[in-house]
Amino acid sequence: MFSQNHRKLKDPREAILRLITKNRLTGSTKNKVIVVFDGFPDASFYRQDPCAIQIIYSREETADEKIKKIVESSDNPRNIIVISDDKEIRLSVRALRANPLGVGDFLGSKDKVQRKIQDIVKPELNYSQVSKINQELKKLWLK
């Protein structure tokens, strides 16, 4: 899965970020992407190519704890997909109503990931329900 360029990178964090951006694993550019790394930022870690990925360092806590806090503080955790192979974090975010996805599943098939995203991010109402509501509102407001 990694190209030669990824193997030459000394910092695995950089390799992960390049893998995500180069392979467009975030799906739509409208998707907000947060990558959580353990510990503190390192002065030697330099982002050469800016990307739309937000990088968060866990600092005094573990990355898993930071991820749980992000999910807990979300207004709509059902719209969050957490990519991890850690069983504990997957169970925790599922209990918080977010959607865990294994790294293999995430990297394995873009189509599978897109279907998963579409299943997760469903509008609350279907088209016919929206049409009925619009008709009722027209009756009320356009008299």
For position 134, which CATH number holds? 3.40.50
Give which of 68, 134, 123 is closest to 96, Cα–Cα: 68
Q: Which domain holds residue 55?
A: 4-141
pLDDT single digits (tens) 76-123: 999 999 999 899 999 999 999 999 988 878 777 556 555 655 555 455
* pLDDT computed for residue 113 by the predictor: 54
CA distance 98 to 101: 10
Confidence of residue 21 (pLDDT cuts 50, 70, 90): confident
Number of domains in the chain: 1
Query: Which residue has 């008709």 as its token pair?
Result: 135
pTM score over 0.85: no
pLDDT single digits (tens) 39-81: 888 776 655 555 678 889 999 999 999 999 999 999 999 999 9
Which has more pLDDT, 78 or 6? 78
User: With b meaning 16 or more CB within 10 Å and e meaning fewer, what string describes 101-127?
Assistant: beeeebeeeeeebeebbeeeeeeeeee
Token pair, residue 3, equals 């190209």
